[in-house]
Amino acid sequence: MESLWTWGGKFFGHRDGDDLWAHDGHHVGRFQGDEVYGPDGLYLGELMDDERLITSISKKSWRQGGFTPYANRVGFVPYVDFVGYIMYAGYEDFPSPEELHKGDNTRSSTSSSQTDKP
């Protein structure tokens, strides 16, 4: 397993084979080469400098085949953050695990509110 940080220096989680795991134990992405795609198949970002995750703005509309995430693993306390790198033109920092889970919360609250209706 390789430890990974965002371009801005925040600890993100680990790469285990072709899978990206957030430090909170969620399976959030799958690698296609150096590019990372979410469970819905949308481009999330890519790996640069062997341990930093970054997002190319021009690739945000790219898509691959989606996948079903594995069950959550036990989360752990994040490693210490590093100093961030200067951002390249046309790029932005990789989303945090919390940002990637916002969609999960929206879907789960919508589905639970629909089941509560008579």
- Over residues 58-116, the pLDDT tens digits come to 999 999 988 998 888 887 778 888 888 889 999 999 999 888 877 554 433 334 444 44
- Over residues 1-53, the pLDDT tens digits come to 899 999 999 999 999 999 999 999 999 999 999 999 999 999 999 999 989 99
* Residue 12: C-alpha distances to residues 4, 52, 63, 83, 97 (Å): 6, 9, 22, 14, 7
pTM for the predicted model, two decimal places: 0.80
